[in-house]
Amino acid sequence: SKILVTGANGFVAVWLVRTLLERGYIVRGTVRSEDKVKFLKDLFRDYGAKFDLVIVGDMIADGAFDEAVKGVDAIEHVASPVHFSADDPQEIIEPAVKGTTEILKSVIKYGQDVKRVVITSSVAAIIRPVSSPIVLSERDWNEPAVKEVEEQGCSASAVIKYRASKVLAEKAAWNFYNQHSKSGISWDLVVINPPYVFGPIIHDVPNPSALGVSVGQWYETVVTGSQDPETTLGGSKGGIGWVDVRDLAEAHVRALQREEAAGERMIVSAGSFRYQLEWHDLVNSFDPSPIPSHPNLPKGNPGSSDKNYLYWCDSSKASRILGMLMGERIRYRSMEECARDTLADFEARKW
């Protein structure tokens, strides 16, 4: 069957497109501009007509996805602004929310064959500030971020603006779905909520400063040391969830396939991390190093943090429904595999 993937040139989406193609799906991707086309066409050259791209220049325009949804059997809506630099909160909230509602509107109008819409939300839509450790689950919503943005506007932090955009976009999707499902629609909705996504990259990134926020932060902390883990979210102060991008892509594919996923939001997390314990200590233990061009990887402050993570993500629903397992039968990639492959990737790029 044919799957539409929005924002097909992004970090997560390129892995998703690749995984879908490997499983025999036909994929149509959307990108914002013509200059994104060549790289992707080259990357997926072997799939010929099984991979095509359409340009959706402005996803918040009325009817933006009308053409793109025609003839597809399911949709993976991955596109959303991912940056921590918004000034006016609407810069990030509007495309996140309207991008989501526009695609659902187009599905109602022209998506006769669509049976499922999978939306990439985030643990950003779930997490909330706490002073003692908690387990986050799908019952939680990051209402505090929305409130903070309402109250503080431009002066709210850019991270909070991003989180509010993910809450509001996901809520808009559920509201739209609940409203329309009463009158009988042919499709159902599934939402995937990943925490920090790490891992090797296969999208078009000319240099490390163009890495997205998650791998960019990992690179600057674990490889160059230009960020201090104490001050980053995954730092020694707290600990938060992570998942390897390849497993996240797999979860998105399974979200299409599993009947029981209908109507569910699911946290897809491989566990929690602190930069010190997991990544610094881990990458410094590799022998031989997967990234010999950086012989002195930052060490952080060994011994300075423990495994009392502030946030633990309950990912049992994704284990039950999507079969994403931890522990004995490892389905999620381990930190070791993720870190090794990411460093080898940086090495190959001479970063």
**Footprint on this chain of ligand NDP (rule: CB under 6 A):** 7, 9-13, 32, 59, 78-82, 95, 99, 120, 122, 166, 194, 196-197, 212, 214
In the complex, the smallest distance separating the C-beta of residue 307 from ligand NDP, rounded to whole angstroms, is 22
User: What is the CB neighbour count within 10 angstroms for residue 260?
Assistant: 11
Of 66, 122, 127, the C-alpha closest to 96 is 122
Task: Indicate the DSSP class of residue 127.
Answer: -
**Each residue of 130-140: b (16+ CB within 10 Å) or e?**
eeeeeebbbeb
Nearer to ligand NDP, 233 or 282 (CB): 233
In the complex, the smallest distance separating the C-beta of residue 115 from ligand NDP, rounded to whole angstroms, is 22
In the complex, the smallest distance separating the C-beta of residue 344 from ligand NDP, rounded to whole angstroms, is 20
In the complex, the smallest distance separating the C-beta of residue 287 from ligand NDP, rounded to whole angstroms, is 29
Nearer to ligand NDP, 18 or 166 (CB): 166
Q: Which residue is nearest to ligand NDP (CB)?
A: 10
Nearer to ligand NDP, 32 or 128 (CB): 32
Nearer to ligand NDP, 191 or 283 (CB): 191
In the complex, the smallest distance separating the C-beta of residue 57 from ligand NDP, rounded to whole angstroms, is 8
In the complex, the smallest distance separating the C-beta of residue 303 from ligand NDP, rounded to whole angstroms, is 28
Nearer to ligand NDP, 166 or 328 (CB): 166
Show the tokens assigned to 139: 């019952």
- Sheet with 271-273, side-by-side order of all strands: 196-198, 240-244, 271-273
Cα 213 to the center of its chain, rounded Å: 11
Angle (deg, nearest 10), helices 158-181 and 90-110 = 20
Nearer to ligand NDP, 113 or 144 (CB): 144
In the complex, the smallest distance separating the C-beta of residue 199 from ligand NDP, rounded to whole angstroms, is 10
Nearer to ligand NDP, 95 or 239 (CB): 95
Q: What share of the chain is helix, strand, coil (3-state, %, to 5)?
A: 45, 15, 45
Dihedral angle computed from the Cα positions of residues 239, 245, 246 and 248, in that order, rounded to the nearest 10 degrees:
80
Q: Are 276 and 301 in contact (CB under 8 A)?
A: yes
Query: Which residues are CB-contacts of 326 (< 8 A; sequence separation ≥ 6)?
Result: 270, 271, 315, 319, 332
